[in-house]
Chains A and B, each alone.
Chain A
Amino acid sequence: MVNKIITAPILPRKRSFYTDLIRDKYLLLMVLPTVIIFLVYNYLPMIWNLIAFENYSIRKGIFGSAWIGLENFEKFFSSPYCGRVIRNTFVISFTDLLLGWPVPIAFALLLSEIKSMRVKRVVQTCSYLPHFISVVVVVGMMHIFFSSTSGVVNKLIVNMGGEAIPFFSTASCFLWLYVFSGIWQNFGWDSIIYFSAISAIDPQIYEAAIVDGAGRWQKMFKITLPSIAPTIFTLLILRIGWLMSVGFEKIILMYNEATYATADVISTYVYRVGLLNADFSYGTAIGLFNSLISLVLIFGANYLSRKLTDTSVF
């Protein structure tokens, strides 16, 4: 006869919110400053998004101004520049992402193959130095290098028998100037995180691969790349979240009437009509629309990434 031992299911002890609170009080205390900062600087200002739906008047404040519903949004979508600024924002950001995202990965992969620590360190330091130059200076340097009358690039073109190109006043050049200068400035810095991911890979895996006769390329593609894939995709998703906030300062510094056609983006347009023209409600409405697209994009990217690679941010 077998005595069946029936064990009662272990029920979780009922814990109230308050007991948790008391138990974790020090941890909570530690996280409190961060929460406060986020609330004050990131969440509280969101209330001001209300003025997108109002005819905002300073005197009447956000709760007293006249409610006009979606009028500001209608105004934006019927503006002759609406299509153009949305298109430019997407074109510039996607090109930037498409060309700029693989560069630091490739750089990190290749550089990690170098044996000499000294060479590695020197190259790495040199590559991320441009990151510390301010955007104003970078654009100033570009103006000097690409000047149509005394820039070194145009000197070269002219000496080879070509015709000087006014790069900064040619709409078709803007995108490439913007994207490649961005890559030049940031690829070194962006690669640091991949370096650390690569150095965290267990060397035993490589040793095993060598024993199995794997070559350098095979090690790179079969071991290194898959090992850092979660890092790559996490960073990609985060980067997609920033997609719609293209480098506003840099564009303001670079564009002029001759390049508006390809350079004017949502944020620069908001700056001109919202801030310079003091039409705050309208500017907020466009900004809010911009944020909505960002939100959709980041959720979309996260969803896709979870489906395809099992990596996701949330």
Chain B
Amino acid sequence: MKKSLVAVLVTLLCCALILPVGFAEEYGYDTNIIGDGTQELSLMTYQNWDSAAYYDSTDGLLIENVLEKITGVKINWECISSDDFDTVAQTRLAAGMNLADIMRVPTVTGSVTKYANEGLLLNLSDYINEETTPNILKRFENPYIEAISTAPDGNVYALPYAEIGTNDIMINWVDIRQDWLDRLGLSMPTTLEEYHNVLLAFKNEDANGNGDPNDEIPLGYQNNQMFGLYCLKGCFGMTYGTDMWSVDSEGKVHLDLVDPRMKDLYTMLHDWYDEGLLYTEADNSGYNDLLSQNRLGGQTLLALDNVMTNQGLAYDLDNNAKYVYIPLLDNAGYYNGTSVPEEAKQLDKRSNGYWGYFAVTTDCKDPELAVRWMDYVWGSQESEDLRYWGLEGVTYDVVNGEKVFRDSITKSEKGSISEMRALGGWPNFVGYENGDAFLAMFKGAYPEQAEAEFKHYLRDQVPVLMGTDEENEIYTTYYNDLETYIKESTIGFITGTKSLDDWDAYVTTCNDMGLQQILSVRQAWWDRYTQF
């Protein structure tokens, strides 16, 4: 017994010693292009989203190790789980001590300018020039990237962790069980009325075919939970999807959620709630259970890659399980009895294309090194390919001059993106990517078909820029309470704990709580954005 244990341990130890360390030369990269291998930088960021592979593990992750060899700069990771990151980083920044050389700025609106004005973030503009940072300047040729990277004073203090390419093709909409429709002999709904009938059928009939007609939940939620039901506002003359804000043809910014047409949406949703068509939990508890118990007919605000993940969960019980997006539903009544004109059908992209900012702190001993590291890792095409495609011969092959992901990635049981993340790819830190890798990952699968169907409907969200001190002050003062109130009220309207007769009072309260001030800030951002 003891002997065998020792044998196992010894074998494990040997394996650990001969694991490939990932020398960059092996894969055809130049090495030590920034440092000479002796320099170090500390980086404070989220822990890897793949829960089994840590950036800060002893051996490191393959792709990050190769990056270290290429740059010649060793990264000292300081990783914090994404849930706790803002709390930890804000406390650290408030103390203003022991900051990492490069850190993710907490994702609170106005953070970058606030901490830059406090003198905690380095002004990158002093270092950005053709010689030291050619790659950053190249990225700035895209006006949107320049707009979101530039503070109101014209300086650059932080670079966005941007996945603009993926966001440009990222659908975030309502899905439905295609196989349930087939089982009940229903066709894919195209109008709101048909959709309602489908949900009723899911509710009343044995859609999942397990013999129990009562265990199906016709519609559940993913992002934003029950509040996210507002995404159906497209059926009532606004845009479909995620964005609560809109800009009209005169360039004026509005908050859709106080639009009088929302009242009609909430009236309808409240009826649906009473009919038992909606999942009754307002938080996100339990939907994974429902998915794997094969009981969930669809979800709101679901991103494309999550459609695949959720399908995988339902697959265990029912290997015909197939989730697809519903079309952008028509609602004839709202367009004087005619269909929604094709050009008015717009689906919001999932996000603004970036997930936060990375900055060099003023605690950094060698700011030039840090900026050059950012230039290569954030800005260069080589780094983008390495981080999103991985290594040739390991994660992808080149076939007929085109990069093709290996089966080990595309057919991975835990999901292609997770598989890449386990190797250190698809990182959640500073970077830029153009979306090719995302599409290639799902070649021949449903996402490709969804792209063909939805791509021409996709619309940019109303941009969020870095605010001035004054704008940030307004945002911190009003936004938190206002958002809480809007979310609570929306859920109240849907579940019926708040009467829709109170709609006018709701709008008045929103205004009292600073909606107009917030709108003026959003307006200022929009006006500045249009100048880039």
Q: Which residues of A contact B (CB under 8 A)?
A: 57-59, 75, 79-81, 143, 147-150, 164, 166, 168-169, 171, 256-261, 272-273, 275-280
Contact = CB atoms under 8 A, between A and B. Distances in A.
8 contacts: A147-B285, A149-B281, A150-B290, A257-B227, A258-B491, A276-B480, A278-B94, A278-B111
Nearest to B97: A58
Nearest to B484: A260
Contacts of B225: 256-257
A148 B287 CA distance: 11
B488 A261 contact: yes
Given A149-B217, A276-B108, A58 B94 contact: yes
B313 interface: no
Interface in B474-504: 476-477, 480-481, 484-485, 487-488, 490-492, 495, 497
Interface residues of B, number: 47
A261 B498 CA distance: 11
Contact of B285 (A168, A272, A273, A279): A168
A164 B286 CA distance: 15
Nearest to A264: B484
Given A80-B509, A258-B491, A276-B108, A148 B280 contact: yes
B488 A150 contact: no
Main secondary structure of the interface of A (DSSP, over half): loop
Contact of A276 (B87, B285, B289, B487): B87
A140 to B, nearest CB: 9
Interface in B244-291: 279-283, 285-286, 289-290
Contacts of B128: none
B283 A169 contact: yes
A150 B286 contact: yes
Given A258-B491, A278-B90, A59 B286 contact: no
Interface string B137-171: 00000000000000000000000000000000000
A59 B285 contact: no
Given A80-B509, A258-B282, A58 B118 contact: yes
A149 B118 contact: no
Contacts of B280: 148, 164, 166, 169
B203 interface: no
Interface of B: 86-87, 90-91, 93-96, 106, 108, 111, 114-115, 118-120, 217, 225-227, 279-283, 285-286, 289-290, 293, 295, 476-477, 480-481, 484-485, 487-488, 490-492, 495, 497, 509, 512-513
A150 B120 CA distance: 50
A312 B484 CA distance: 43
A272 B93 CA distance: 17
B481 A258 contact: no
A59 B362 CA distance: 12
Contacts of A258: 226, 282-283, 488, 491-492, 495, 497
B474 to A, nearest CB: 12
Contact of A278 (B106, B227, B286): B106
Given A150-B293, A171-B497, A260 B281 contact: no
A278 B281 contact: no
A139 to B, nearest CB: 10
Nearest to A169: B282
Contacts of B227: 257
B298 to A, nearest CB: 15
Given A58-B118, A149-B289, A257-B227, A80 B476 contact: no
A219 to B, nearest CB: 48
B79 to A, nearest CB: 20
A59 B476 contact: no
B94 A168 contact: no
A279 B481 CA distance: 13
A58 B480 CA distance: 22
B153 to A, nearest CB: 16
Contacts of A80: 481, 485, 509, 512-513
Contact of A169 (B90, B96, B495): B495
B484 A257 contact: yes
A168 B487 contact: no
Nearest to A257: B487
B481 A79 contact: yes
Nearest to A258: B282
Nearest to A280: B94
A149 to B, nearest CB: 6
Nearest to B111: A278
A29 B404 CA distance: 72
A277 B108 contact: yes
B108 A278 contact: yes
A147 B286 contact: yes
B94 A59 contact: no
Contact of A275 (B87, B95, B485): B87
A257 B488 contact: yes
